[in-house]
Chain A
Amino acid sequence: MELPILFFLVAGMLVYSLSPLFGPRKSRSDEPGAELRRRIADLDAEKANTLRAIKDVEFERATGKLSDEDHEELHSLYTRKAAEILADLETLRNEADRADDIR
């Protein structure tokens, strides 16, 4: 009894595993909007990182690890970077919206 059960289970897994091969061909690189989505995700991650860096700079000044001068320098550096990322994100999102509309 065990072996027929195993046979059916493995057969089921095989069908589940290989069924995508019977669908239409899907190019990984040509997936619609894949590259754009990836770039947006990258920028999103960079934005989160930069915002965290700004928070860190504030925290480190508050706990006495950064002088006012260093704080000023780092804060403006990260703020500039954050603004650039937000602008790039905006452009990419508009591009993605346009691509969606066309589709």
Chain B
Amino acid sequence: MVTFGTLSQFAALAFSLLTMACLLLGVMRDDGRWVQAGRRCLVSVAACATLASIALGYLFLSNNFQVEYVASYSDRALPLFYKLTAFWAGQKGSLLFWAWVLSLFSALVVYNNRRDPDSRLTPYVYLVLGGTLSFFLFLLCVVSSPFDLLDFVPKDGQGLNPMLQNPGMVFHPPTLFLGYIGFTVPFAYAIAAMTTGTTDASWIKKTRAWNVLSWIFLTVGIILGGQWAYVELGWGGYWAWDPVENASFIPWLASTAFIHTAIIQERRGIMKVWNMALILLTFLLCIFGTYLVRSGVLQSVHDFGATGLGGYFLAFLAIATIGGVYLLAESYRQFKTPNALESYLSRESTFLFNNVILLALAFATLLGTVFPFLSEAITGNKVTVGQPFFNQVNTPLFLVLIAITGVCPLIGWRKASPENLRKNFLRPALFALAAAVVLFASGIRMSYALLSFTLCAFVAGTILQEFVLAVLSRKAVTGEASWTAAPRLLWRMRRRYGGHLVHLGLVLVVVGITGSSAFKLEAQGTLSKGESLAIGEYELKYENFRKYEKLNRTIYAATLGVFTDGARIGSLDAERRYYVNARQPTTEVSLRSTLKEDLYVTMPGISRNGDITLKVAVNPLLVWIWIGGGLMVLGGILAIIPKRRRETP
């Protein structure tokens, strides 16, 4: 199976190079036969990459530890589920996963265009996809193959890192990869549009689902990563502005900006150059993020260390940047739209302002991420900027972004009259003011927290007003009852309300972030059996201690009774685990989560006499981050459900 996998990779590389050769000949000779052959070669790449992936999966399942990659990330005791997901646990396997998914996406693009009469764009789209695939397959075949063999056959593998044996971590990397990879398709269309001088919004329409879907995957990946960090790493937080976390967040910000201005191009036919620049930036940031994770230039708990791939990724990045910027400069005159904005009081202007803030956030985060690298290059000393930098710079920008999220839907396209603005702003503003008064009266004095909650109330008020007014208007036209009009409106205008749902989810995320950062409580203590530790309104009593074996680990568990006002409301099991083959202990988080707050317990130490050391935190409103994240994803899905097409006569 090793030779099968290796040869499948080489066959995939050969087909991807053939794809490019056929398409170039087809375009240069203006011969449709070569284009068709190139298209079919691209499908064959997907078939070969699938064979290689099946081979690697089989090697994991059959415990073939002579394969260095399998021996590094699996062992005999590893549960079947984790054995399959160990596929993408390391650098080499995740590279194959990347190439495989990109090849499947490319085949899907070919399928979607099977009846497309417009053959101007597609050869160039396939060419870019083929080129990107060739790069990844080259790395797999020549530099970093998951099918490399050891000189000996170990009796057992080293096992999967215990921290990766968590459902969140199983799905976090592939969803992030799906997001990164997905943006290759709109990038390919953008390059094709610039090459062919296709100035209309057809490439944006064709790639809308790809953009939003990739954005959804990035969102899911980021949320799962945060959730994993929260329940697995045991430091009590979910986001540490770690370089690898930032590497996924920066393209997320750029793609969010693109999704907004793409709407303007679709509606108004303006901002063409800006959109081209944004999609190029998003793709380049995805590749740059991959470079950060795989080059070893920055220290992170999540990276793959120095893999020797950094130089290749930099070269690819340089080619894509130079090529993209050159095409953009060449096609600038064609794409430039005169008199873009009719009024500063219009939705277009607020979208543009939202873009400026999103890009400022992306730039600040990028600067903080690469600062160690820049400072070392300039001064010779590696200076790292920590969480305070990111929090101080990004928090005010985020608050402005939230404010714009509320303002945007209140303003109409093209231009808004002051009279309409006043009328539309009044109710949400009053609602936000009332929320601020209630919060102040309930004792909240921290200015940032108060401002953040007030802005969240403003956005929620805006969304509510939008929906209620639309339902009333539908009722007036159709005579339907509210309970019929509301869901029908939601479904019929799902693109619009999907967007609102995303914004509502964002509001909940911000509520969760604000609550859990501004009002967090922490305590630490060592307890003997029967003793208690108090935090906020909770008291934790050390009741029992157990040691037992389960699957591939030995578990040491302390049972803690949870009390409030002297009444027992439940119990928590704080655990330390010792994974047999990985030979490393881990601390498992024990969590009592409610809509109001999370009680978060870890047990960093167990002494010989049975005393335990506990680290406890109360994180108010934190669960709303996950609920809000889920709502954002649901909104995104709702927004891309296609409408049934009516046949044109």
User: Cα distance A89–B416 when bound, in Å?
Assistant: 33
Partner of B417, one of A10, A49, A56, A70: A70
The answer on a CB contact under 8 Å between A63 and B411 is: no
A3: chain B residues within 8 A (beta carbon) = 3-4, 7
CB-defined contacts of B47 to chain A, threshold 8 Å: 9, 13
Could you list 10 examples of A-B contacts with CB < 8 Å?
A2-B3, A18-B37, A25-B31, A26-B31, A45-B200, A49-B267, A59-B470, A65-B410, A65-B412, A65-B424
Give the interface residue-count category, chain B. 35 or more
Q: Does A85 belong to the interface (CB within 8 Å)?
A: no
CB-defined contacts of B120 to chain A, threshold 8 Å: 38
Report B-chain residues with C-beta under 8 Å of the C-beta of A18.
37, 40
A21 within 8 A of B: yes
A41 contacts which of B3, B34, B118 (Cβ < 8 Å)?
B118
Cα A85 to Cα B115 in complex, Å, equals 24
Question: Could you list 13 further interchain pairs (A-B, Cβ under 8 angstroms) beyond the known A20-B34, A20-B37, A37-B117?
Answer: A10-B48, A13-B15, A18-B40, A19-B40, A42-B200, A45-B200, A45-B202, A59-B470, A59-B473, A65-B410, A65-B411, A66-B412, A70-B417
The reply to whether the CB of B8 lies closer than 8 angstroms to some CB of chain A is yes
**Is there an interface contact between B205 and A45, defined as CB atoms closer than 8 Å?**
yes
**Residue B537 lies at the interface, judged by CB distance under 8 Å to chain A:** no
Sorting the interface of chain A by its residue count into under 10, 10 to 19, 20 to 34 or 35 or more gives 35 or more
Q: Contact: A23 with B33, CB < 8 Å? A: yes
Once the chains bind, are A6 and B31 in contact (CB under 8 Å)? no
Contacts of B44 in A (CB 8 A): 13-14, 16-17
Q: Which B residues lie within 8 Å of A45 (CB)? A: 200-202, 205
- Complex partner residue of B202 from A13, A25, A42, CB under 8 angstroms: A42
Give the contacting residue for B30; candidates A9, A28, A56; CB below 8 A.
A28
A residues at B contact (CB < 8 Å): 2-3, 6, 9-10, 13-14, 16-21, 23, 25-29, 31, 34, 37-38, 41-42, 44-46, 49, 52-53, 56, 59-60, 62-67, 69-70, 74
B205–A20 contact, CB under 8 A? no
Pick the contact of B41 from A17, A31, A69 — CB < 8 Å? Answer: A17
Chain A residues lying within 8 Å of B15, measured Cβ to Cβ, are 13, 17
State the CA gap A17–B200 with chains docked (Å): 32
Asked if A38 contacts B117 (CB within 8 A), the reply is yes
**How far apart are B414's CB and chain A's nearest CB, in angstroms?**
7
Q: How far is the CA of A38 from the CA of B11 in the complex (A)?
A: 36
* CA gap between A41 and B7 in the complex, in Å: 43
Q: B37 near A21 (CB under 8 angstroms)?
A: yes
Confirm or deny: B466 has a beta carbon within 8 angstroms of a beta carbon on chain A: yes
Look across to chain B and name the residue whose beta carbon is closest to the beta carbon of A30: B30
Cross-interface CB contact of B32 among A17, A28, A53, cutoff 8 Å? A28
Contact B420 A66 (CB under 8 A): yes
Does chain A have a CB within 8 A of B150? no
